Amino acid sequence: MRHKRPPHARKQSSRSESEQLSALIGDIYDASLDPDLWPTALEKICSFIPGSMANIFSQDINKNANRYFTWGHDPYYISLYLEKYTGMNPIFPTALFFAAGEVYGMADILSHAEMRKTRYYKEWLEPQGYVDFVGCNLEKTATSVAPIAVVRHQRDGIVDDEARRRMRLVAPHVRRAVLIGKVIDLSKVEVAALADTLDGLAAGMFLVDADARIVHANAAAHAMLAQKLIVHAAGARIVANDPQSDQALRDVLAKAAGGDGVLGIDGIALPIPASDGADHVAHILPLTSAARRPAGASYGAVAAVFVQKARLDLQSPLEIVSRRYRFTAGEMRVLIALINVGKVAEVSLVLGISEGTVRNHLHRLFEKTGTMRQADLVKLIGGFASPLASQA
């Protein structure tokens, strides 16, 4: 008796790949304007890759996860993941190490044999029949990542080169569609809500015009102005105490109206010494790009100036720590699990390895970092935190 192929397989055989892709791209951009269409777009992405479940979600290093759009999921297991398994998933936060737009799969993070030993696989993936995934980071920040993931069931098989190739065709359009959706949402941001967000930054943040006039300052910036150790206000303008730094700041701000083409999308950084000898740095970010313009327009500003004590400007604390101390993939998984779970015995259960193996990795982590306790390791990670993160 011949087995029937799944509907998406029959459809693919009767249509060329270019025809399928063209129709799929249209569905993706339709979803950017009508969020209710994302489940349908994800279903068709699953048909194209192929896979049995797809979702767009975010997760951070603090084990917080959000599911935005999903197709083919079991609501029970999604709830279970959010309640219990975010901290056990060995894919995170290693997924932070992949650049936005880069396609990756399970095998790029750990082998399938290693994954099958983990508690996450045994209790969450295996009961659903899932064996692999292919994904792409749509966005990433210092501590979180927002990917699209197409999950493969046993019937779909392990991700192969063809699945990766097809994801590379689809992913750029999904990224653009997500960006379009966010730009539309940004136009609805209210000034009061924006001010609350800015006040939550640890760095002093000044919104300024091209003449360095301060049109808005957050709480930390007001404290800096009051202390007068780094910058002060003169005639409503921000002035760096160091004359050379002040001139450089004025020159950059005069160019800021030219936007990203002049300063670059990441802006520019200027050293600003404080009166007490401490080194500080000012990061100037133009507010003239489409995504930032609503914030600038709210205050009549052309640039945001972030002033903070000089320290490493990091994209991801764990990524930089890994490179700095040359941790192996196994050591990183143990380190991440120790941060999320804590005890050696529990890490052993979560990762599916012996307690002896955990301890061996832990000893190597101590040796490479010059630390002696788990608390010291966690403290080390905290020391590499993003300069714009809130600090205690």
In a domain, 392, yes or no: no
In a domain, 182, yes or no: yes
Structure tokens at 388: 């714009």
User: CA separation (Å) from 51 to 64, 87, 213, 310, 314?
Assistant: 25, 25, 54, 46, 35
> 127 CB contacts (<8 Å, ≥6 apart)?
77
Q: What is the mean pLDDT of the chain?
A: 78
Of 49, 66, 84, 87, residue with least CA distance to 338: 87
Rounded Cα distance between 23 and 21, Å, is 5
| Beta strands 65-71 and 103-105, pairing class | unpaired
Indicate the pLDDT class of residue 225, thresholds 50, 70 and 90: very high
- Do residues 377 and 361 share a domain? yes
Rounded Cα distance between 357 and 348, Å, is 8
**At 6, is the secondary structure helix, strand, or coil?**
coil
Split into its structural domains, the chain has a count of 3
In a domain, 97, yes or no: yes
- The answer on pLDDT for 142 being more than 90 is no
- The answer on pLDDT for 27 being more than 50 is yes
Of 25, 99, 294, 64, residue with least CA distance to 182: 294
Of 199, 223, 218, 200, residue with least CA distance to 208: 218
- Do residues 15 and 164 share a domain? yes
In a domain, 300, yes or no: yes
- Do residues 211 and 348 share a domain? no
In a domain, 203, yes or no: yes
Indicate the pLDDT class of residue 192, thresholds 50, 70 and 90: very low
The CATH number for 324's domain is: 1.10.10.10
Final residue belonging to a domain, choices 127, 153, 186: 186
Final residue belonging to a domain, choices 309, 335, 356: 309
In a domain, 389, yes or no: no
Determine which of 45-49, 112-116, 177-181 has the lowest per-residue pLDDT on average. 177-181
> 249 CB contacts (<8 Å, ≥6 apart)?
212, 238, 240, 270, 272, 282, 284, 305
In a domain, 391, yes or no: no
- Do residues 83 and 139 share a domain? yes
Mean pLDDT, range 63-87, rounded to an integer: 90
Question: Which domain range does residue 237 map to?
Answer: 191-309
- Do residues 322 and 293 share a domain? no
The predicted-structure confidence for 226-267, as pLDDT tens digits, reads as follows 999 999 999 889 999 999 989 988 888 887 665 444 444 435
- Do residues 249 and 301 share a domain? yes
The CATH number for 233's domain is: 3.30.450.20
Q: Are 302 and 256 in contact (CB under 8 A)?
A: yes
The predicted-structure confidence for 349-388, as pLDDT tens digits, reads as follows 878 888 899 899 899 998 888 888 877 777 776 655 544 4
342 Rama class: left (phi>0) / alpha (psi -120 to 50) / beta: left
The CATH number for 13's domain is: 3.30.450.80
The predicted-structure confidence for 278-290, as pLDDT tens digits, reads as follows 778 787 777 754 3
| Beta strands 268-273 and 279-286, pairing class | antiparallel
- Do residues 219 and 122 share a domain? no
**Token pair 């941001």 is at which residue?**
189
